[in-house]
Amino acid sequence: MNSVLALQAAQVRFGSRVVLDGVTLQVALGERVALVGSNGSGKSTLLRLLHGLLRPSAGTLLRDPAATQAMVFQRPFMLRTTALNNVALGLWIRGESWGQARTRALRGLARVGLAELAGQAARTLSGGQQQRLALARAWVCDPAVLLLDEPTASLDPHAKREVEALMAEFAAASAAPALTMLFASHNLGQVKRLASRVLYLERGRVMADLPVLDFFDAACLQQHSASAHAFVRGELLRGALWHGRHTAVESAPWPCGFRALRLVAWRRCCVACRFPLRRPGRS
Amino acid sequence: MPSFAQSISTALQLLGSADPVLWSVVARSLAVSGLACLIACVVGVVLGAWLAVATFPGRGALLALVNTLLAVPSVVVGLVVFLLLSRSGPLGFLGWLFSFQAMVLAQSVLVLPVVVALTRQVVEDAQQAHGEQLQSLGARSALRASLLAWDERYALLTVVLAAFGRAVSEVGAVMVVGGNIEGFTRVMTTAIALETSKGDLPLALALGLVLLAVVLLLNVAIALLRRWRERVEGDAPMPLGDAVLRA
């Protein structure tokens, strides 16, 4: 197995606070790894560590020097200039001439459907458009490893779908060499749709590291990590209650072994909405 | 001694009469402060941006020193520059004492800490908020500092205007190194001080009104710039979407 990223007993400390503790991890070429966990569990820190923005306080980080990396943040930073210049900037910093960088940036903008907004000030774009711009900025650098830190967390549902579709396209389109993608997400549906492997983090430790099908299999997850099981259960219920609609409960892709939760969620929705509906059928 | 109302009326007449003495003092004052501000900004913005991203032993002490220099009285700056430029001083060979150049140098030294400290603050805030993203694109610290300074150009323009305001309104340094020589080194603030002590209140008031107008214009320029920047370049925060709703 070709490993593009490897961590060996890595620890990250901020002062006396241990943010990541003893993380050992190998990421193979072409894997799509989702990092899940509550806020403060260390997902962003792990991504920053893997991208080289942080140095491990202990342990080792090995990166394939030939594998170009790019990272997309939850709130992308756009300079006070046009969308085109913002995308070209990444290429220019990597050593391309400004003219060549702008030509490639235009292709990148077309790739994410923003070609017509190339001349517009980047900061006047919507949150979803700025996130697509950030994806274009990462994509034009032709990365072998793409790291995304909750790229859809602060977007509305429509923009969320657009960005997710782009992520799926990037992962699918780059067949040779395969794009390795690591992303942090709170959205379990997104994790299920995009990831091939899931890492569950809790207080800076990796508590579960499973293929996506196993992660969403209640019995398997319970066997591996009771805390990960509890997290997924809580997130599914929270998600159902967040939507607060019976339809959402009924149409949600309840994972294997978690279907019993569906009834609980449905009942809670009934209470929340004060509107009894038919009992959900078996999915 | 004329009453306040009489003085105001005479001052307005002086302003309207295109008095050559008055307007030469105003022009010299603007030239000295403008040039000093330009020099201080060229050096100060580079130094401030570098200080914002650089990490080295003694950085904290250097920042404390720069912040202390913000509060140095202008007469002390004038005294130091006077000693530097005096015949026995290290820069005495220039022969600049009691000249236009001496006043520019004194005001540059006076304003430099303001530009450095404010630029450092602006760029450091931007670095904390966005530096990591630029770093993720491959920008090293010098390029990061330049990009962030360029990105914060409107905030820095405000710094420039603030520095000009400080320079044009100071009196101590130019008085000490310029000597307030009529027709050569007399500027608005030193002229106001002199005319007031002589009892020529209308001229002092007229110069005071011009000084006020300059400061007012600067403030208007800052406000207009800020408004234009918000309108054209979209400085509104990103929509938070459901992240806020969830919280």
- DSSP H or E segment with residue A35: strand A32-36
Residues of B in contact with A132 (CB under 8 A): none
Tell me what pLDDT residue B20 has: 86
Residue of A233, A198, A197 lying closest to A218 (CA atoms): A233
Tell me what pLDDT residue A11 has: 94
Look at B240 and A48 and tell me if their CB atoms are within 8 Å: no
Q: Label the pairing between strands A3-14 and A58-63.
A: antiparallel
Encode pLDDT of B64-97 as tens digits.
999 999 889 999 999 999 999 999 999 999 999 9
**Could you tell me if A132 lies within 8 Å of chain B, comparing CB atoms?**
no
Domain B4-229 grouped into CATH 1.10.3720.10: yes
Contact (Cβ atoms closer than 8 angstroms) between residue B167 and residue B33 = yes
**Could you tell me if A97 lies within 8 Å of chain B, comparing CB atoms?**
no
Candidate from A73, A94, A123 with C-beta closest to B133: A73
Residues of A in contact with B234 (CB under 8 A): 121, 123-125
The whole-angstrom separation of Cα A181 and Cα A4 is 11
C-beta pairs of A2-5 under 8 Å, 24+ apart in sequence: A2/A28, A2/A29, A3/A27, A3/A28, A3/A29, A3/A62, A3/A64, A4/A28, A4/A29, A4/A63, A4/A64, A4/A67, A4/A144, A4/A145, A4/A180, A5/A50, A5/A61, A5/A62, A5/A63, A5/A64, A5/A67, A5/A145, A5/A180, A5/A182
Mutation site for B-interface testing, chosen from A93, A150, A161 by largest number of B Cβ within 10 Å: A93
Residues of B in contact with A159 (CB under 8 A): 241
Per-residue pLDDT of chain B (247 residues; tens, 9 = 90+): 667 787 788 878 878 887 888 889 999 999 999 999 999 999 999 999 999 999 899 999 999 999 999 889 999 999 999 999 999 999 999 999 999 999 999 999 999 999 999 999 999 999 999 999 999 999 999 999 999 999 998 889 889 988 998 999 899 999 999 999 998 999 999 999 998 898 888 888 888 888 888 888 888 888 888 788 777 766 543 333 333 333 2
Domain extents in chain A: 3-215, 226-273
Query: Across B52-106, where does the E strand assignment appear?
Result: none
Candidate from A53, A70, A123 with C-beta closest to B132: A53
Look at A80 and B153 and tell me if their CB atoms are within 8 Å: yes
- Token reading at B12: 């307005």
Look at A124 and B233 and tell me if their CB atoms are within 8 Å: yes
Half-sphere exposure (CA, 13 Å, Cβ side) for A17? Answer: 8
Domain extents in chain B: 4-229
Residue of A81, A20, A82 lying closest to A48 (CA atoms): A20
Look at B241 and A156 and tell me if their CB atoms are within 8 Å: yes
ipTM of the predicted assembly exceeds 0.90: no
Architecture of domain A3-215: 3-Layer(aba) Sandwich (3.40)
**Could you tell me if A154 lies within 8 Å of chain B, comparing CB atoms?**
yes
Contact (Cβ atoms closer than 8 angstroms) between residue A267 and residue A250 = no
Encode pLDDT of A174-213 as tens digits.
555 678 999 999 888 888 889 999 999 999 999 999 999 8
Q: Which residue ranges in chain A fall short of pLDDT 50?
A: 244, 246-247, 274-278, 282-283
Q: CA nearest B234 in A: which residue?
A: A124
Look at A123 and B234 and tell me if their CB atoms are within 8 Å: yes
The whole-angstrom separation of Cα A51 and Cα A71 is 7
The answer for B98, left when phi > 0, alpha when psi is -120 to 50, beta otherwise, is left
Tell me what pLDDT residue B218 has: 82
Q: CA nearest A94 in B: which residue?
A: B138
